[in-house]
Amino acid sequence: MAGTAEQIEVGGRTVRLSSPDRTYFPDLGLTKRDVLGYYLAVGDGIVRALRERPCMLHRYPKGIEGDKVHQKRLPSGAPDWVETVRVHFPRFGRTADELCVTELAHVAWAVQMSTIEFHPWNSRRADVETPDEWRIDLDPGDDCDWTRVQRVAHVSREVLDELGAIGYPKTSGGRGLHVYVRLRPEHGFTDVRRAALAFAREVERRAPQDVTTTWWRKDRDPAAVFVDYNQNARDHTIAAAYSIRGNPRATVSAPLTWDEIDECEPDDFTVLTMPARFAELGDLHAAIDDTPYDLRRLVEWAERDDASGLPTPEMADGMAAQVPPGQ
């Protein structure tokens, strides 16, 4: 039996939690109630990570061993106090009203709707087409170990320091690492993605033995770290800081200090360990909005690369469009 519904008070709202005893993570015995308890424990952090952003939900109605639902449109039956933002998908000629978190009760309601993972856009409701977040995704190949990811993280920080940009690292909740840089919302997705590629190429120049920017997975060194600039494309999302990941270990995407990167392992941060860490340290990304970066210098790097004949992201998009689905 999953249990009867409970009424949970969250920030002055009453959130109904149905089937609170339903098991979501069988290996650890974690239930839907435990998932909500986790998000309440890191409430300030998860709300800051999601605030005012269109958010795709990864829902697991039967727990992580069941089917996963990628939910862009707000699930039906939302209370009138749940907020949304309308986004347009030009490729399909459609729009969708996505969840737009502004308070912790919105997160709690999403958990009621069986959400485990939160995947926000890198732009906000005030101007969905203008990103205010540059995402550096250090994505390890199949044969790449964590030590190599750690090395590439430090090279990335070196380049960021030279640019005068402040990066906020976090584990991906998987085998990789993310670094977020807050931007002045002055450039569209195309410029941000081109700038992200220029940055990735500079990291590759400095650590060619560890890094790849090769577009096609089949052509990459499986032992290298792919600096995935594509995560800055329009409508591409990755797990938010503090988001749980839908794996048997119940890992979370955990904000780090730069000094911690050499001392930690990705599996150190889970639903079971993160609440105590948050209670002790608070939100390590709390100051991210205080340091917006002017992207113009990186845009100049992108123009330099274009002038030297290096492929642009748009060229890669064109090649990808010519490949039949499934290849």
* Structural domain total, the chain: 2
Does residue 103 sit in the same domain as residue 186? no
- Whether 302 and 178 map to the same domain: the answer is yes
Digit-coded pLDDT (tens) for 30-79? 999 999 999 999 999 999 999 999 999 999 999 999 999 999 999 988 99
CA-wise closest residue to 190 among 137, 227, 160, 232: 232
- Whether residues 24 and 40 share a domain: the answer is yes
Domain annotation covers residue 71? yes
Residues 81 and 140 in one domain: no
- Together in a domain, 47 and 166: no
Measured between alpha carbons, how far is 48 from 76 in angstroms, rounded to an integer?
25
pLDDT tens-digit readout, 197-238: 999 999 999 999 999 999 889 999 999 999 999 999 998 999
- Whether residues 157 and 231 fall in one domain: yes
65 and 85 both lie in a single domain: yes
**In angstroms, rounded to a whole number, what is the distance separating the alpha carbons of residues 135 and 144?**
21
Tell whether 322 is covered by a domain.
no
User: What CATH number has the domain bearing residue 177?
Assistant: 3.90.920.10
Specify if 10 maps to a domain: yes
Average pLDDT over residues 232-247: 96
pLDDT at residue 326 above 60? no
Q: Which domain holds residue 79?
A: 6-120+242-255
Residue 264, in any domain of the structure = no
Tens of pLDDT, residues 316-325: 565 444 433 3
* Same domain (yes/no): 247, 302: no
**Structural domain includes residue 282:** no
Hey, how many other C-beta atoms are within 10 angstroms of the C-beta on 255? 28
Whether 301 and 176 share a structural domain: yes
Quick one: 67 and 185 in the same domain?
no
Q: Are residues 168 and 110 in the same domain?
A: no
Query: What are the tokens at 8?
Result: 């949970």
Residue 285, in any domain of the structure: no
- Concatenate the DSSP letters of all residues of 218-286 into one string: GGS-TTSEEE-GGGGSTT---PPTT-B-SSTT-BB--B--GGGTTT--GGG-BTTTHHHHHHHH--TTT
- Cβ atoms of residues 87 and 128 within 8 Å: yes
Domain-located, residue 323: no
* Ordered DSSP codes for 82-124: --EEEEEETTTTEEEEEEE--SHHHHHHHHHTTEEEEEE-SSB
Which residues are paired to 139 by β-bridges? 226
